[in-house]
Structure 1
């Protein structure tokens, strides 16, 4: 079934909220406090330990959603929310949200290639969002929410472009053009700390309840074989 048809039904229901909407902004300070006071503890690898793994970079809408999706995938050791795709130095959330930079909300994915391949991560990327909506993902609009698959090597570029061509050949998106940018990775800027693990720390936030969690659950329903055992 085409991902897009279900996706737009969902968008129609929840257009009133957004990763940068008034609803989200109203709850942001409260969410920061909740994240500090009541977030469940999870074991995190140290920066030194993470250096033992490969990295991949993707942008496909609000990074709260994207981070949670990749962290549910087997072989992924950590997903970090941040900014990439622009040239501006030291971007921050206000700059991104107000469209002052060309950066997009993105995630840095640390993964074990013995457990999951870059090709499979590309499948996760395309399977968890609609790559035919230009500068939009769900209720979130603006270039900061555009679809980008970053590559670090020619091999990775070929994998991404090959996947896009296969989707076109199979008419997966029913003739709608894929707007995903295939971009050479330059630099990733980590987002502010309160954005990290935001969905897990703020389950009662209205955007998380109405947008992030349903998006994650749709992914889990369609990609069961990709999930960590404790995510089934």
Structure 2
């Protein structure tokens, strides 16, 4: 995701010209396997954090997922003072763009969120980049918020590596939960507010379409606004 200050013209140019080989790899949809290790999280809403490149697309997909009650774009790690979009997107901070997802495990389990994440949001074979975006702040990471989520995430990554579905090594990280800082207001619900934005049309609308195609029973047409 390019700096907001660079303007729509630069993003429009990016949307047309960024179809290099690594970007194409990130766009390919690979239907991830159903998890063998089923999450057992009990009753009540749960929270998990996902980093999958630009948070606009991560938020868009999870906001269309049944059982998700909230998807908030933000920054994970780093310091509160530097949790600012211009700084983070410049790559000078220790933050990663993430989405904090609150969900009802009686409707959708954590392992099912992982499957959706790796099927249509993030390419697990890419390090420090997703789609057209480059830098450590765009790395794909799982941030479990409980011991159960951690166990499920470890088991699922191991299952993915053994599945043979990806032609390159799985490099997605599991990282320890640190501070989460909500992103600026204009980033929240960005896809819903800006459906004709060149970046959304080029990179994120196809992810939502893939969610609907691959997991129709878990797709929600209505965008869950924060």
TM-score bucket of the superposed structures, by smaller chain: 0.7 to 0.9
- Provide the C-alpha distance between the structure 2 equivalents of 1:124 and 1:167, rounded to a whole number of angstroms: 13
C-alpha distance 229-198 of structure 1, shift in aligned 2 (>3 A): closer
Deviation at 1:166, TM superposition (A): 0.7
Residue by residue over 1:65-112, the C-alpha shift from the partner in whole angstroms, topping out at 9 and shown as x without a partner, is: 00010011110011000011x232231101110111121110011111
C-alpha distance 216-229 of structure 1, shift in aligned 2 (>3 A): closer
Residue by residue over 1:167-203, the C-alpha shift from the partner in whole angstroms, topping out at 9 and shown as x without a partner, is: 11111212x1111110121221000000000011011
Residue by residue over 1:89-141, the C-alpha shift from the partner in whole angstroms, topping out at 9 and shown as x without a partner, is: 23110111011112111001111111111111111221222110111111111
Q: Which residue of 91, 95, 114 corresponds with 1:99?
A: 91
- Provide the C-alpha distance between the structure 2 equivalents of 1:223 and 1:143, rounded to a whole number of angstroms: 30
- Structure 1 runs (4+) greater than 4 angstroms displaced: none
Deviation at 1:207, TM superposition (A): 0.8
Counterpart residue number, 1:31: none
Q: Which secondary structure does the structure 2 equivalent of 1:184 belong to?
A: coil
Counterpart residue number, 2:196: 204
Aligned residues: 187
- In the alignment, structure 2 segments of 5+ residues that lack a partner are 10-43
Counterpart residue number, 1:132: 125
When structure 1 is superposed on structure 2, of 60-69 and 119-128 the one drifting more is 119-128
C-alpha distance 155-53 of structure 1, shift in aligned 2 (>3 A): closer
Counterpart residue number, 1:88: 79
CA contact (8 A) 2:53 2:130 kept: yes
Map 1:1-232; keep pairs closer than 5 Å.
19-20=1-2, 25-27=6-8, 53-84=45-76, 86-90=77-81, 91-128=83-120, 129-174=122-167, 176-228=168-220, 230=222
Q: Which secondary structure does the structure 2 equivalent of 1:162 belong to?
A: helix
Deviation at 1:25, TM superposition (A): 3.0
CA contact (8 A) 2:3 2:86 kept: no
- Provide the C-alpha distance between the structure 1 equivalents of 2:133 and 2:80, rounded to a whole number of angstroms: 24
Measured on the aligned residues, the alpha-carbon RMSD in Å equals 1.9
C-alpha distance 130-183 of structure 1, shift in aligned 2 (>3 A): same
- Provide the C-alpha distance between the structure 2 equivalents of 1:62 and 1:87, rounded to a whole number of angstroms: 17
